[in-house]
C-alpha cells in the first residue's frame, strides 16, 4: 500500500513537471508560429526573409512542414479504420489480437502539382498511395511518385510528420513527458485527454489524427506497462543481457514458462500466418535487446500503433534512440529546391 502511494506520488510529480514544461513549450510554439507567419521562406537560401538564419536542412524541414498539403488523408485514415479517431480507441480490450500489416506494400507520395516544388510560396499538394514496389514503378511515368516509408500509409505518413521525425532526433523523452499527463485521468479523463493532446501538439505533431494515435498508444502503454515502465524509467533503451529479475515481454507467451510473454501477433503478408508481434532480436540477448519496458510497449501497444500510424522512424529510414539491425534506407529527396 505504501509502495503504491509512493508510485502515485512519484507519477504525479512527473506529471506536474511535465505541465510546467508543456506551458513553456506553448510559449515557444507561439513565438515559433509568429516567426513562421512573418517569414516567407525562400527555399534556395539559408536565410529566411525575417533574417533568421536557417541551416540547409532546417530550410527543407520547414518546407516539408509548412508548405505541403496531403489531399487524401481521409482515404488513408479509412484504409486503417481510423476515421472516427476523436472518439474510437483502436486498441482492443484484451491482449491476444492479430494485426494485419501488409509488408509487401509501401507508402508513396504522388505530387498533384509537382511544379510547385520549384516555387517559394506555392502549396505543394500530394496524395499518399499504398502500393507494391512494382505498382509504384509503373505509376511513375511522369516522375512524380516517391517512396516515403516502407509498409502501408497511415495517420502519421504525411510530410509534416516526416519533417518532425527528421528534425527532432529524440522524440522518446518529450513523448514520455506527455504520457505522464495521462495520470490526470484519475481526476478527469477528459482533462487528461486535452492535456496529452496539447502536449503532443507542442512536441510538434501537427496532424490531429497522428496526435490521436500517439495519444491512444501512450494510454495503452500506461494501462498495460505502467509499473514495469516506472521501474525501468532510467534503464538504457537497449539492454543486451537479461538479468534473472527482468521479464522478456517480447518472448512468445507460454502458459507455464512465460505467462507474461507476448500474446499479440502480426500478419505481415496477406497469405502469411500470423507471427509474434516482436522480432527475436528484441528479447534475445544481444546488442539489440530492449529493456523490459520497451518490450512491453513493443508487444502490447506496438502492432496497432504501427498499423494505424503507418510512418515510424524505422520504416522511414531515420535513425532513432533505439538500435535495431533491420534498418531500411530511404532517400527523402522529393525533388524540392532543397533536399533533405
Ligand atoms: C526543428 O527543431 C527545432 C528545435 O527543436 C525547432 O526550433 C524548429 O522549429 C524545428 N523546425 C521544424 C521545421 O520543425
Ligand atoms: C520516380 O521518378 C523520380 C524522377 O525520376 C525518381 O526520383 C523517383 O525515385 C521515382 N520513384 C520511384 C518510386 O521509383
pLDDT band at 30 (very low <50, low <70, confident <90, very high): very low
The pLDDT score that the predictor gives to residue 52 is 58
Among 111, 140, 335, name the best residue to mutate to test ligand 2's pocket (greatest count of ligand atoms within 8 A of Cβ). Answer: 140
Range 228-239 average pLDDT: 94
Range 160-165 average pLDDT: 95
pLDDT band at 170 (very low <50, low <70, confident <90, very high): confident
Calculate how far, in angstroms, residue 142's C-alpha sits from the geometric centre of ligand 2. 9
Calculate how far, in angstroms, residue 252's C-alpha sits from the geometric centre of ligand 1. 40
Calculate how far, in angstroms, residue 171's C-alpha sits from the geometric centre of ligand 1. 12
CA distance 335 to 60: 11
Q: Which residue has the cell 505504501?
A: 2
* Nearest-5° Cα angle at 267, 266 to 271: 170
The pLDDT score that the predictor gives to residue 57 is 78
Write the CB contacts of 267 (distance below 8 Å, at least 6 apart in sequence).
98, 99, 100, 101, 273, 274, 275
Q: Which set of grid coordinates corresponds to residue 31?
A: 513565438
CA distance 307 to 145: 22
Cβ 67 under 6 angstroms from ligand 1 = no
- pLDDT-above-70 percentage for the chain: 82
pLDDT tens by residue, 133-153 = 999 999 999 999 999 999 999
Cβ 163 under 6 angstroms from ligand 1 = yes
pLDDT tens by residue, 47-71 = 454 555 566 678 888 899 999 999 9
Cβ 167 under 6 angstroms from ligand 1 = yes
Q: Comparing 5-9, 135-139, 318-322, which segment has the lowest mean pLDDT?
A: 5-9
Among 54, 58, 202, name the best residue to mutate to test ligand 1's pocket (greatest count of ligand atoms within 8 A of Cβ). Answer: 58
The pLDDT score that the predictor gives to residue 12 is 42
The helix/strand/coil state of 210 is helix
Q: What is the pTM of this model?
A: 0.84
pLDDT value at 40 more than 70: no
Residues with CB under 6 A from ligand 2: 136-137, 140, 143, 145-147
Amino acid at each position: 500500500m505504501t509502495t503504491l502511494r509512493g508510485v502515485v506520488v512519484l507519477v504525479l510529480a512527473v506529471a506536474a513537471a511535465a505541465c510546467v514544461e508543456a506551458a513553456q513549450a506553448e510559449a515557444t510554439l507561439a513565438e515559433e508560429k509568429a516567426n513562421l507567419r512573418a517569414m516567407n521562406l525562400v527555399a534556395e537560401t539559408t536565410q529566411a526573409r525575417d533574417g533568421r538564419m536557417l541551416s540547409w536542412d532546417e530550410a527543407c524541414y520547414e518546407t516539408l512542414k509548412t508548405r505541403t498539403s496531403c489531399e487524401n488523408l481521409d482515404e488513408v485514415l479509412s484504409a486503417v479504420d481510423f476515421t472516427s479517431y476523436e472518439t474510437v480507441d483502436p486498441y482492443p480490450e484484451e491482449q491476444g489480437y492479430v494485426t494485419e500489416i501488409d509488408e509487401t506494400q509501401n507508402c508513396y507520395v504522388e505530387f498533384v502539382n509537382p511544379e510547385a516544388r520549384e516555387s517559394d510560396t506555392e502549396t505543394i499538394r500530394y496524395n499518399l498511395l499504398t502500393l507494391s514496389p512494382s505498382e509504384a514503378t509503373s505509376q511513375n511515368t511522369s516522375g512524380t511518385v516517391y517512396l516515403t516509408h516502407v509498409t502501408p500509409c497511415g495517420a502519421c505518413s504525411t510530410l509534416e510528420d516526416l519533417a518532425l521525425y527528421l528534425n527532432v532526433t529524440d522524440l522518446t523523452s518529450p513523448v514520455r513527458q506527455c504520457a505522464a499527463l495521462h495520470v490526470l485521468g484519475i481526476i478527469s479523463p477528459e482533462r487528461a485527454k486535452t492535456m496529452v493532446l496539447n502536449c503532443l501538439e507542442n512536441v510538434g505533431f501537427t496532424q490531429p489524427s497522428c496526435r490521436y494515435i500517439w495519444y491512444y498508444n501512450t494510454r495503452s502503454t500506461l494501462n498495460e506497462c505502467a509499473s514495469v515502465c516506472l521501474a525501468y524509467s532510467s534503464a538504457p533503451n537497449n539492454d543486451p543481457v537479461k538479468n534473472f529479475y527482468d521479464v522478456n515481454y517480447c518472448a512468445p507467451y507460454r502458459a507455464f514458462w512465460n505467462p507474461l510473454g507476448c500474446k499479440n501477433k502480426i500478419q505481415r503478408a496477406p497469405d502469411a500466418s500470423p507471427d509474434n508481434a516482436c522480432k527475436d532480436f528484441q528479447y534475445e540477448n544481444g546488442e539489440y535487446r530492449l529493456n523490459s519496458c520497451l518490450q512491453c510497449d513493443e508487444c502490447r501497444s506496438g502492432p496497432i500503433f504501427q498499423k494505424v500510424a503507418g510512418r515510424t522512424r524505422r520504416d522511414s529510414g531515420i535513425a532513432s534512440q533505439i538500435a535495431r539491425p533491420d534498418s531500411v534506407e530511404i532517400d527523402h529527396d522529393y525533388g524540392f529546391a532543397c533536399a533533405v
